[in-house]
Structure 1
Amino acid sequence: MAPRVVVFNNMITPYTNRLYNELVSRGLDLAVLSCTAQEADRSWAGSFTPRYTTRTVPGISIPLSRSRHTHVNVGIARALKRLAPDLLFVNGLYPSMLAGAAWARANGKPLALTIDGWRETMPNTAYHRLARPWLLRQCGAVVCCSDKGRAYFSGEGVHDADLFVVPLVPAWDPPKTVPDFQERPFHLLWCARINDDAKNAIFFENVAIALGRILPALKVRVVGSGVAEQRMLTRLAAAGIEVRHDSYVPWPSISEVYLQSRLLLLPSLLEPWGLVCNEALQCGVPCLVSPHVGAAGELVRDHDNGLVCALDEQAWVDAARALLDQPARWRTMSQQARQSVRSDALQDAASRFIAAVDHLVDAPGRQEAVQ
């Protein structure tokens, strides 16, 4: 009989829902317990259909920054008892996740941590320095989304045999065909929250304005909202750059944004992965990213399907101009971008997740039940 697997996360997203549905189609007995249906700056609740049991526990979401929340929930033990997991995956170090981990320990259930991020993006507060080692001691497996994440947890003392990489996969399939260089009206694309502390919006603005002085009729596509939204739009307009802006584009329609764009810029200072890179590449859009992006060097390969540049504005201007001024070079990189996205990416991610499940089944939890 297949084990009942419960994932306890902060919220279900369109892309995690796609993975979970694929797992269910393979026969996994899956349920998902969430801290919230949707965080305050998200807009996708109700836009996808889970094929598995879902529950949300009452609680509050506390914003730590524009892009990060922590969750404090009640009734976790009751909800877990009702879902009756044989294996529990927790999705972070929130207080609610630690409560779920404590429940698994008390009931002798094998436990795993599934988390994005890597060395640069893992919080290192006093709370995390206490909570992280405790949680890792309880876990029989850790699931990361990247080799950088795997390296981080290996350095934290997790055995290699207990580490699994399950790559993130977009919520939608790659389009069958993509437009050519001249058929894409926008030179640059920004697709992210518009802030400076994590996404480095002001750097994008400065690069775009400098490019506008040397590339005639520069057009910029902006998708996103945030504390620096009005500043970005005002500065680009003042520089005479044509901008099309949408605060939000529903995820089933977002591919049209990529298909209209020639180059994605992601100059983040803090980026656990950067799923926009997956989405852009599968639409034939090369990515220019900072080394602080989790996908840099793994998915986005320098001078292959994109460019990885240190955060020097002139270097970014030169790199973007060299690509936008040479359609033949862009076409080669665009083709390599498409080829770098595996046609079986969803199936591969599901197989890797199931391997982590099998590992937990074969290697019982490290902690005995506490009476």
Structure 2
Amino acid sequence: MTSKKINVVYLTQVPGPYRERMHEILANEASIFYSVIYCAKLEPNRDWELTYGDYNKYFLAGKSKTFRHNNPSVWKLMNKLKPDALIISAFKPTMLYAIIWCLLNGGKIIVYNDGTLESERNFSKIQKFIRKIVFKKAHAFVAPGKGSMDLYRSYEVPEQKMFRSCLCIDNSKFINTDLDQREYHIMFAGQIVQRKMPLFFVEVAKQIKRLIPELKILIVGDGDQREEMLSELIKNKLDYTFAGFVDQDVLPSLYSKAKLFLFPTLNDPWGVVANEACASGTAVIISPVAGAANDLIVHGENGYVLSTDPKLWAEHIVNLLKDEELLSTFSKNALKIVQKFNHHQSANGIMESIEYALPQLALKRS
């Protein structure tokens, strides 16, 4: 007679291309029955077309009109799935309904939060109060990196309750072209919105061009500051190529066209674009407020972590572009370091949190 599988539900906002493989790995775990509930298929700022992984999944809505995600219908689905453990990746009303279900029905609560002290610094008192209450009821905590673990510590979460599940991509899909064959010196990729600092990128490029007149730039992405960014590039006579928004199957070929990837941001809990660059052997210059900074991106090893001073960025970039040996070392280190950020590690961190919340599962797997 076989023992009953542990029923695990992962509740999150919308699908993301960097999580599909992790869900597949967890779905193949023999000791659990794994399902994913999505609040919606798409959020207002996403238009990508995904190839979904092979796992049990539910959608509470189509394209959401807001980021609030208030789906009372999750209660009916929770009654159907009856999870022994619930993993939440946000604190939207939908997640709070599911948490209440667990409190009433004995389900274990596991928090996955990719926020950091910096990204949640300006959260309202209500947002912080909700986290404080949920954290007191949670049985385990999952973090993508050091920044999220520091956030948990600020809420006095015990160390033994914290587990790491990295944010990652399929590293094997990205191409590493020899640096001397790369057409562009610097690259910007992401939403062209204020938070991603596209105009700061242009200011850095202006300063680089004074010392490297042949500077060539690659821009990938779209957003409400696109026209302003392109106008500034034209006004300053910067040589650029604008690829616009590209599908996930095209993206891997673009990172290997640039020698350096610039990742300025005002606020980013992680930033998988840094993973994508590293998987292409492209060194990264990153703002310290990004979660990947001082974690995936190690200052002086596979890039630089720099405060958002255009002159400082330009100085480091020019020196790196002119030092071919150092740039090559950074490129090799980027490829090496990113290999530790993979879907199996990501899934393993989730499993460790489930085993901690449900010790009987750990005994079954030992």
**TM interval, short-chain normalised:** over 0.9
Where do residues 98-137 of structure 1 align in structure 2 (5 Å cutoff)?
98-122=96-120, 124-137=123-136
Residue 81 of structure 1 is aligned with which of 79, 82, 106?
79
Report if aligned partners of 1:117, 1:145 keep a CA contact under 8 Å in 2.
no
Report if aligned partners of 1:142, 1:163 keep a CA contact under 8 Å in 2.
yes
CA shift, 1:32, in A, is 0.7
User: Which secondary structure state, in structure 2, belongs to the residue aligned with residue 253 of structure 1?
Assistant: coil
The root-mean-square deviation of aligned C-alpha atoms, in Å, is 1.9
1:35-75 Cα shifts (integer Å, max 9, x gaps) = 11011221234x21321111111488464xxxxx2211121
User: Which secondary structure state, in structure 1, belongs to the residue aligned with residue 68 of structure 2?
Assistant: strand
1:256-294 Cα shifts (integer Å, max 9, x gaps) = 111111101111110101111111111100000111111
Report if aligned partners of 1:60, 1:73 keep a CA contact under 8 Å in 2.
no
Residue 265 of structure 2 is aligned with which of 263, 268, 287?
268
1:136-182 Cα shifts (integer Å, max 9, x gaps) = 1221011111112112102202111111111111145254x621222
d(CA) in 2 for partners of 1:267, 1:85: 40
Residue 53 of structure 2 is aligned with which of 47, 50, 53?
50
Q: Which residue of 2 aligns with 1:179?
A: 177
Query: Is residue 216 from structure 1 mapped to residue 192 from structure 2 by the alignment?
Result: no
Residue 195 of structure 1 is aligned with which of 193, 196, 221?
193
Report if aligned partners of 1:116, 1:145 keep a CA contact under 8 Å in 2.
yes
1:107-148 Cα shifts (integer Å, max 9, x gaps) = 111111112121011252132122111111221011111112
Q: Normalization by structure 1: what TM-score? A: 0.91
User: Which secondary structure state, in structure 1, belongs to the residue aligned with residue 293 of structure 2?
Assistant: coil
Q: Which residue of 1 aligns with 2:143?
A: 144
Distance 1:43 1:62, change over 3 A: closer
Query: Is residue 225 from structure 1 mapped to residue 222 from structure 2 by the alignment?
Result: yes
Report if aligned partners of 1:255, 1:279 keep a CA contact under 8 Å in 2.
yes
Q: Which amino acid aligns with 1:77?
A: W
CA shift, 1:346, in A, is 2.1
Report if aligned partners of 2:184, 2:259 keep a CA contact under 8 Å in 1.
yes
Q: Which residue of 2 aligns with 1:7?
A: 10
Q: Which residue of 1 aligns with 2:293?
A: 296
Unpaired stretches in structure 1, ≥5 consecutive residues: 64-68, 365-371
Q: Which residue of 2 aligns with 1:35?
A: 39
Residue 232 of structure 2 is aligned with which of 219, 235, 251?
235
Q: Which amino acid aligns with 1:13?
A: G
CA shift, 1:344, in A, is 7.3
User: Which secondary structure state, in structure 2, belongs to the residue aligned with residue 89 of structure 1?
Assistant: strand
Q: Which residue of 2 aligns with 1:165?
A: 164
d(CA) in 2 for partners of 1:3, 1:134: 26
Report if aligned partners of 1:150, 1:163 keep a CA contact under 8 Å in 2.
yes
Distance 1:48 1:269, change over 3 A: same
Q: Which residue of 2 aligns with 1:367?
A: none
Report if aligned partners of 2:85, 2:109 keep a CA contact under 8 Å in 1.
yes
d(CA) in 1 for partners of 2:80, 2:245: 37
1:309-346 Cα shifts (integer Å, max 9, x gaps) = 11111111101111112222211111111111226722
Report if aligned partners of 1:212, 1:239 keep a CA contact under 8 Å in 2.
no
d(CA) in 1 for partners of 2:286, 2:341: 25
Report if aligned partners of 1:11, 1:38 keep a CA contact under 8 Å in 2.
yes
Identity %: 24
Q: Normalization by structure 2: what TM-score? A: 0.92
1:86-121 Cα shifts (integer Å, max 9, x gaps) = 211111111111111111111111111112121011
d(CA) in 1 for partners of 2:212, 2:44: 38
Q: Which amino acid aligns with 1:5?
A: V
d(CA) in 2 for partners of 1:12, 1:87: 20
Report if aligned partners of 1:223, 1:246 keep a CA contact under 8 Å in 2.
yes
Q: Which residue of 1 aligns with 2:278?
A: 281
Q: Which amino acid aligns with 1:216?
A: P
Q: Which amino acid aligns with 1:318?
A: E
Report if aligned partners of 1:145, 1:168 keep a CA contact under 8 Å in 2.
yes
d(CA) in 2 for partners of 1:189, 1:150: 30
Q: How many residues align?
A: 356
Report if aligned partners of 1:189, 1:264 keep a CA contact under 8 Å in 2.
yes
Q: Which residue of 1 aligns with 2:364?
A: none
